Structure 1
């Protein structure tokens, strides 16, 4: 895993969560800019997944490969799933769904780093 990319994803995710929480408190539905931001976040997550897969194919990687891959797949599925759910929910709770998902991502990425490098914990 690339630590700088992980930090970028975590930061972007927390910023998006804050923006979506503000939209929720202002009683605004999810709009196209929210979708664009989730799309950018998803691209960052996909980039991390591709880099991790390349590193694993090169011989690097965690001892618990199956658990790492399952976490990685789940993380890649979170942004599009929350985007669809948030867009379908045309009330103020649409951005709340995005905010919740964006608060889950940093925690999941920390767990991925723990699995990747257990000595660095």
Structure 2
């Protein structure tokens, strides 16, 4: 993993989380803005998948458990997809809050992936 890219992902995920939670608590239903914000988080996760495939080939192997890393990455990539699907099926203010909470969960998972990649010793 690349530290600066992971840091950008975490900042974006937290910003999206705050935006969606505040919008939901203000009574907003899922809209193009909230769903699009979570789509941006998903796009960055897809780029992270590509980086995770290329990094070991470029001489940046993980120091932690590779299986644990990939489980986190695949799970984090599936969270926004599931959340947006659910939010579009149940269009309530709480769906928007849930989108924000999913973005916070992705931010936490990204930090854990960085720890697995760089700090832990297998």
Q: CA RMSD in A?
A: 1.7
* Distance apart, 1:56 and its partner CA: 2.5
> Is contact 2:22-2:97 (8 Å) kept?
no
* Distance apart, 1:83 and its partner CA: 1.1
| Partner residue in 1 for 2:106 | 105
| Partner residue in 2 for 1:18 | 18
* Distance apart, 1:59 and its partner CA: 4.9
* Distance apart, 1:61 and its partner CA: 2.0
Q: How many residues align?
A: 120
| Partner residue in 1 for 2:36 | 36
Q: Secondary structure at the match of 1:103?
A: helix
> Is contact 1:10-1:106 (8 Å) kept?
yes
Deviation string, structure 1 residues 42-88 (Cα, Å, up to 9, x no partner): 11111011101111244532241111111111111111111111222
| C-alpha separation in 2, matches of 1:8 and 1:83 | 22
| Partner residue in 1 for 2:68 | 67
Q: What runs of 5+ residues in structure 2 fail to find an aligned partner? A: none
> Is contact 1:85-1:97 (8 Å) kept?
no
TM-score between both structures, scaled by the size of structure 1: 0.90
